[in-house]
């Protein structure tokens, strides 16, 4: 069984200047994540720009990820779709490819309700014998899943007992879900670039599933917290949260993340697919300042230790 805890790095999809998927850069991003000590990786998530990939590109990206990871950590595949039939098709294909789990949001459709959401996940569980990571991210689905609904799905569908929670305030909602679960073995991942990771862990989350460009920072925070060294975990978090916040800006967050990965040597070209905007000179300059401040802060901490 896959242990859904720790840090799962959501992989970006790098592109060449000619707007083709850059598989060499994708492999370098995987290497960066694995060298950081992540517990798993997630492909074809929201910040993988999955909505802008063709079906052929989706298949090729997943094949590259699975081949390069080569079983070293579990691979989760995003298979969200606007209809149940397409979601099942994508999920069956992901299972056949060899993923450890699928990550799915409710389908984005007018007037969807809790019964429709439950039926969607029930059909998925009946069709694919894989763990399901239920992604609660209203900006994508257009639907906020109440704690009671998430717990009900988990009770009715044992394979859907892992939640990727991205409906802020996430620490508050994490605590409410676990209260309602009454001992049901739920796993909750934080997301949102890691911005609330420390508080999510304190509320009972088991880790983070996000694509922050410094996965080693997330690994350090989770490792320290879970080993009982909570003050050290807080120090590590607060030294880096300014960069997490800067990276996760609405509308340009993916471009910032790719720029950071480019500067780290992981991706050759920091392009995002249109119509996503490119970064302007002032944002790039501000990024340089934030990165420099965070790195100096971390160096001072290591020296004092």
Query: What DSSP string runs through 118-163?
Result: HHHHHHHHHH--S-EEEEE-HHHHS-PPPHHHHHHHHHH-TT--EE
Query: How many whole angstroms separate alpha carbon 268 and alpha carbon 49?
Result: 17
- pLDDT in single tens digits along all 305 residues of the chain: 577 999 999 999 999 999 999 999 999 999 999 999 999 999 999 999 999 999 999 999 999 999 999 999 999 999 999 999 999 999 999 999 999 999 999 998 777 889 999 999 999 999 999 999 999 999 888 899 999 999 999 999 999 999 999 999 999 999 999 999 998 999 999 999 999 999 999 999 999 999 999 999 999 999 999 999 999 999 999 999 999 999 999 999 999 999 999 999 999 999 999 988 889 999 999 999 999 998 888 776 544 44
pLDDT for 111: 75
Q: Are strands 132-136 and 207-210 parallel, antiparallel or unpaired?
A: unpaired
CA atoms within 13 A on the CB side of 27: 9
What pLDDT is stored for residue 145 in this prediction? 94
116 token code pair: 């429709």
In the prediction, which pLDDT does 303 show? 42
Give the pLDDT confidence of 43-63 residue by residue, as tens digits. 999 999 999 999 999 999 999
Instruction: Give the pLDDT confidence score for residue 302 in this predicted structure.
Output: 45
Tokens of 247: 């990276």
Domain ranges of the chain: 6-227
Helices and strands, counts by H and E, the chain? 12, 8
The DSSP code sequence of 221-277 is HHHHHHTT-HHHHHHHHHHHHHHHHHHT-TTTHHHHHHHHHHHTTS-S-----TTSP
Q: Which tens digits make up the pLDDT trace of 121-180?
A: 999 999 999 999 999 999 888 899 999 999 999 999 999 999 999 999 999 999 999 999
Tokens of 105: 């949001």
What is the Cα gyration radius of the chain? Answer: 18
Burial of 42-59, coded b for 16+ CB within 10 Å and e otherwise, reads bbbbbbbbbeebeeebbb
DSSP single-letter state for residue 179: H
CA distance 73 to 75: 7
Angle at the Cα of 120 from the Cα atoms of 116 and 121, rounded to 5 degrees: 125
pTM recorded for the entire structure: 0.94
CATH of 6-227, one of 3.90.1150.10, 3.30.300.30, 3.20.20.70, 3.10.300.10: 3.20.20.70
pLDDT at 1: 56
Q: How far is residue 198's CA from residue 233's CA, in Å, rounded to a whole number?
A: 8
Residues in the chain: 305
């Amino acid at each position: 069984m896959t242990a859904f805890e720790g840090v799962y790095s959501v992989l970006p999809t790098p592109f060449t200047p000619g707007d083709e998927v850059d598989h060499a850069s994708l492999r370098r991003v995987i290497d960066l994540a694995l060298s950081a000590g992540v517990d798993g990786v997630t492909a074809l998530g929201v910040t993988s720009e999955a909505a802008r990939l063709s079906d052929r590109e989706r298949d090729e990206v997943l094949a590259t990820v699975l081949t390069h990871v080569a079983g070293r950590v579990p691979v989760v595949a995003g298979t969200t779709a606007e209809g149940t039939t397409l979601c099942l098709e994508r999920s069956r294909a992901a299972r056949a490819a060899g993923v450890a789990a699928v990550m799915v949001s409710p389908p984005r459709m007018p007037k969807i309700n809790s019964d429709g959401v439950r039926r969607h996940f029930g059909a998925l569980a009946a069709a694919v014998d894989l763990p399901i990571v239920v992604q609660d991210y209203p900006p994508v689905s257009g639907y906020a899943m109440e704690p009671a609904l998430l717990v009900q799905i988990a009770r009715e569908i044992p394979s859907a007992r892992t939640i990727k929670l991205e409906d802020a305030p996430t620490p508050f909602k994490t605590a409410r879900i676990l209260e309602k679960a009454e001992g049901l073995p739920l796993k909750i991942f934080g997301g949102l670039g890691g911005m609330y990771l420390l508080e999510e862990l304190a509320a009972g989350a088991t880790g983070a599933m996000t694509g922050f460009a410094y996965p080693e920072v997330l690994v350090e925070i989770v490792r320290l917290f879970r080993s009982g060294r909570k003050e050290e975990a807080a120090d590590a978090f607060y030294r880096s949260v300014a960069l997490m916040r800067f990276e996760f800006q609405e509308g340009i967050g993916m471009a910032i993340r790719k720029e950071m990965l480019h500067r780290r040597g992981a991706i050759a070209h920091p392009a995002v697919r249109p119509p996503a905007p490119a970064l302007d000179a002032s944002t790039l300059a501000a990024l340089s300042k934030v990165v420099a401040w965070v790195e100096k802060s971390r160096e001072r901490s290591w020296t004092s230790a």
